[in-house]
């Protein structure tokens, strides 16, 4: 299956942004150049999570294991274009599955472990799944049994029980058979390798087909932002189901010969221990964890992070105070990433956005004519802002509009749909995200929020992301998100949903509004209702489910 036109492939190849590399082709290079270097390693508590011992594979080990798995799948009829749905946590076996699929020319579609019967049924039907691979046990639950219950007509195979994913040897005949098979694949760099799923924050998850070339373009952007070097150790705590983990870690490690250290689900003590013991050079972490670490220097200072060069974060606005603490006190620069499965790829580094205050919320306008940035990756993409209603481009300082993106990182369209509305007439992907073009200088975008999330209070538009960031800086607030609630007079008003640091003494609505007024916030943006929660509802990628908040507020009136 190929989604890119020959014209697009030729244009990006001629410009040097796409090439001939496949995932299994990169592995072959690593085996030839550094066979005994560490390729991938499990977290130390894998046994407690899955009942399986932690594994560490060199590139040679990974090649053997993935060849053995590919041969098992080949015997079951899996080949070019077959669609393998996989539901595994971040364990070595999942990495082996990616390489095995690449060697077969099959499509791998990884699911978050949080997905249950409803999502598995729905997405498997959409994908037209050929075979399902799952985990016998994860945190005491049988993920594989759920899949077997809802997919009775499909082969549903458990790693370890039905499939050997960590074989240490392969008969020579099998190795030669698969090598011949893989060489016969037509244009593996541009075949669809993965179908990942959008986060579903605005509705049913949509399938995003991506080729190795698309992933590698993203990997190079992440590597440039994080300053990756050949042979680095990379710690990935994000599920291997989306852009950040697959592009930023799996493919980058394959291309640069880095050791990929896996972690999931997030356990701060285990995560920090891995960062120290594995001598990690780069990692990424959710904003909430970085905020916690910035507020507890005594905890951070218990560990030796001398090899760590930088930390990445994203998925929500960052705290300027947190960035300043990491850079001034811990001597670790913070990289702010903004991306999506569809191929959005912006990042703010100390080189591109020196101010920690600005880097928390602003991103370089990569791919905008007339603006130059350090590095090469900004040449691989184009971006612009349009009026979401008229589709006309806007470029005035202070203008707010929908961010549109094109280039080597961007996909070709959602799986199984003919929805042409997601692209502009000139081929830019419409992100659905509102951004503001900074006033002085005009080199940056500020993420305002989702087009569908904007609160319309009597004709005045309010950005939830702006309020979230301000309210989370309140000393009594652990995390917060605002949403709209219906009002007969104004259409919508603002409700703040917050998790207090002290549940017995939460800040009142009046105190929150007083705090916001002191920050200079306009009166019409102030929340007029408050809801206290134990935790904000989030999807598997950690994004706040604002729609769920809105539904809950509407239900209680």
Quote the pLDDT of residue 466. 82
Contact status, residue 116 vs residue 149, Cβ threshold 8 Å: no
Q: For residue 144, give the DSSP letter.
A: H
* pLDDT (tens digit per residue) in 50-65: 999 999 999 999 999 9
H helices within 423-522, ranges in order? 464-472, 509-518
Most confidently modeled range among 41-55, 176-190, 431-445: 41-55
Reply yes or no: is the peptide bond before residue 265 cis, omega within 30 of 0: yes
Instruction: Read off φ and ψ for residue 419, nearest 5 degrees.
Output: -75, 90
Question: Lowest-confidence range among 11-20, 135-144, 414-423?
Answer: 414-423
Contact 195, 242 (CB under 8 A): no
The model's pLDDT over 363-373, given as tens digits with 9 standing for 90+, comes to 999 999 989 99
Mean pLDDT across 71-80: 95
pLDDT digits (tens, 9 = 90+) for 534-549: 999 987 767 888 888 9
Kindly indicate the confidence band of residue 456, based on its pLDDT and cuts at 50, 70 and 90: confident
Q: How far is CA 89 from CA 121, 233, 241, 313, in A?
A: 19, 20, 9, 21
What is the chain's Cα-based Rg? 23
What is the pLDDT, as a whole number, of residue 450? 78
Across all residues in the chain, what is the average pLDDT? Answer: 93
- Give dist(CA 526, CA 435) in Å, integer: 21
- The pLDDT assigned to 203 comes to 58
In eight-state DSSP terms, residue 326 is I
The helix or strand, by DSSP H or E, that contains position 14, with its residue range, turns out to be: helix 6-14
Q: Across-strand partners of 525?
A: none
pLDDT at 461: 72
Q: Which residue has the higher pLDDT, 260 or 266?
A: 260
131-134, strands of its sheet edge to edge: 156-158, 131-134, 83-87, 107-110, 192-197, 207-211
- DSSP letters, 347-371, are EE-TTT---HHHHTTEEE-TT-TT-
Query: What's the average model confidence in pLDDT over 282-295?
Result: 93
107 or 376, higher pLDDT: 107
Listed in sequence order, the residues at least 6 apart from 249 whose beta carbon sits closer than 8 Å to its beta carbon are: 222, 234, 236, 238, 240, 260
Burial of 358 (0-12, 13-18, 19+ CB in 10 A): middle
Question: Is there a cis peptide before residue 9, judged by omega within 30 degrees of 0?
Answer: no
The H-assigned helical ranges of 34-91 are: 46-50, 59-75
Q: Is the pLDDT of residue 202 over 60?
A: no
pLDDT for 34 beyond 80: yes
CB 550 within 8 A of CB 450: no
pLDDT value, residue 146: 92
Instruction: Give the chain's length.
Output: 557
Angle at 193 between CA 187 and CA 198, to 5 degrees: 140
Exposed/middle/buried for residue 310 (C-beta within 10 Å: 0-12, 13-18, 19+): buried
Residue partners of 192: CB distance under 8 A and separation at least 6? 1, 2, 3, 107, 209, 210, 211
Q: Tell which residue, 264, 328, 267, has the closest CA to residue 292.
A: 267
Mean pLDDT of all residues in 249-274? 96
In the chain, % of residues over pLDDT 70? 99
> Tell me: the pLDDT tens digits for 513-524?
999 999 888 788
Give the percent of the chain with pLDDT over 90: 76
Mean pLDDT of all residues in 283-312: 94
Compute φ and ψ for 142, nearest 5 degrees. -90, 95
- Whether 469 shows a pLDDT value over 90: the answer reads no
Question: What is residue 539's predicted lDDT score, i.e. its pLDDT?
Answer: 79
Query: What CATH superfamily is the domain 453-556?
Result: ANL, C-terminal domain (3.30.300.30)
Residue 200 above 60 pLDDT?
no
Lowest mean pLDDT of 24-33, 246-255, 270-279, 518-527, name the range.
518-527
Instruction: Answer yes or no: is pLDDT of 393 > 60.
Output: yes
Q: Give the N- to C-terminal CA distance of the chain in Å, as an integer.
A: 49
pTM of the model: 0.85
pLDDT at 497 exceeding the cut of 80: yes
DSSP secondary structure string for all residues of 294-312: HH-HHHHTTS--TT--EEE
The pLDDT of residue 64 is 97
Is the Cβ–Cβ distance between 179 and 207 less than 8 Å? Answer: no
Instruction: Return the domain boundaries, the chain.
Output: 453-556
Distance, in Å, from the CA atom of 476 to the CA atom of 535, rounded to the nearest integer, reads 15
* Exposure of 554 in the CB half-sphere (CA atoms within 13 A): 12
């Amino acid at each position: 299956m190929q989604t890119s036109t020959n014209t697009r492939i030729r244009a990006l190849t001629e410009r040097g942004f796409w090439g001939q590399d496949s995932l299994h082709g990169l592995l072959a290079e690593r085996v030839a150049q550094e066979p005994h270097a560490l390729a991938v390693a499990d977290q130390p508590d894998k046994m407690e999570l899955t009942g399986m011992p932690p594994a560490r594979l060199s590139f040679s080990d990974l090649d053997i294991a993935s060849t053995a798995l590919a041969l098992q799948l080949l015997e079951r009829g899996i080949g070019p274009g077959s669609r393998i749905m996989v539901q595994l946590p971040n364990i070595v076996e999942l990495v082996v599955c990616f390489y095995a699929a690449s060697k077969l020319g099959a499509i791998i579609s990884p699911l978050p472990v949080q997905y249950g019967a409803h999502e598995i049924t729905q997405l498997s039907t959409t994908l037209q799944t050929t075979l399902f691979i799952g985990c016998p046990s994860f945190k005491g639950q049988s993920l594989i049994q759920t899949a077997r219950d809802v997919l009775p007509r499909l082969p549903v195979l458990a790693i370890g029980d039905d499939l050997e994913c960590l074989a240490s040897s392969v008969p020579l005949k099998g190795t030669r058979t698969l090598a011949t098979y893989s060489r016969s694949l037509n244009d593996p760099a541009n075949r669809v390798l993965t179908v990942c799923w959008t986060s579903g924050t605005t509705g049913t998850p949509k399938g995003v087909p991506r080729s190795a070339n698309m992933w590698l373009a993203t990997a190079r952007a992440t590597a440039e932002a994080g300053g990756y070097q050949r042979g680095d150790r990379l710690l990935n705590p994000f599920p291997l189901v989306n852009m950040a983990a697959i592009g930023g870690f799996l493919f980058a490690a394959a291309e640069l010969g880095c050791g990929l250290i896996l972690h999931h689900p997030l356990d701060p003590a285990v995560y920090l221990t891995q960062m120290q013991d594995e001598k990690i050079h780069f990692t990424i972490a959710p904003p909430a964890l970085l905020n916690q670490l910035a507020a507890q220097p005594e905890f951070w200072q218990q560990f030796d992070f001398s090899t760590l060069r930088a930390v990445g974060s994203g998925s929500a606005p960052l705290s300027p105070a947190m960035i300043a603490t990491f850079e001034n006190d811990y001597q670790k620069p913070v990289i702010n990433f903004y991306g999506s499965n569809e191929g959005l790829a912006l990042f703010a580094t100390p080189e591109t956005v020196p101010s920690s205050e600005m880097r928390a919320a602003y991103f370089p306008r990569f791919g905008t004519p007339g603006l130059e940035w350090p590095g090469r990756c900004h040449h691989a993409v184009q971006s612009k802002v349009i009026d979401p209603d008229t589709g006309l481009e806007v470029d005035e300082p202070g203008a707010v509009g929908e961010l549109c993106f094109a280039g080597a990182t961007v996909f070709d369209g959602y799986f199984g749909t003919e929805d042409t509305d997601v692209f502009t007439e000139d081929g830019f992907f419409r992100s659905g995200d509102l951004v503001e073009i900074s006033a002085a200088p005009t080199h940056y975008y500020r993420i305002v929020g989702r087009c569908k999330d904007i609160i319309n209070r009597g004709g005045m538009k309010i950005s939830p992301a702006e309020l979230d960031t301000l309210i989370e800086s309140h000393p009594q607030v652990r995390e917060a998100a605002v949403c709209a609630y219906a009002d007969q007079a104004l259409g919508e008003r603002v409700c703040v949903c917050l998790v207090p640091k002290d549940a017995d003494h939460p800040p009142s609505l009046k105190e929150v509004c007083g705090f916001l007024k002191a920050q200079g916030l306009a009166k019409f943006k102030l929340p007029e209702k408050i809801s206290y929660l134990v935790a904000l509802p989030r999807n598997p990628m950690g994004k706040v489910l604002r729609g769920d908040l809105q539904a809950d507020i509407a239900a209680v009136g």
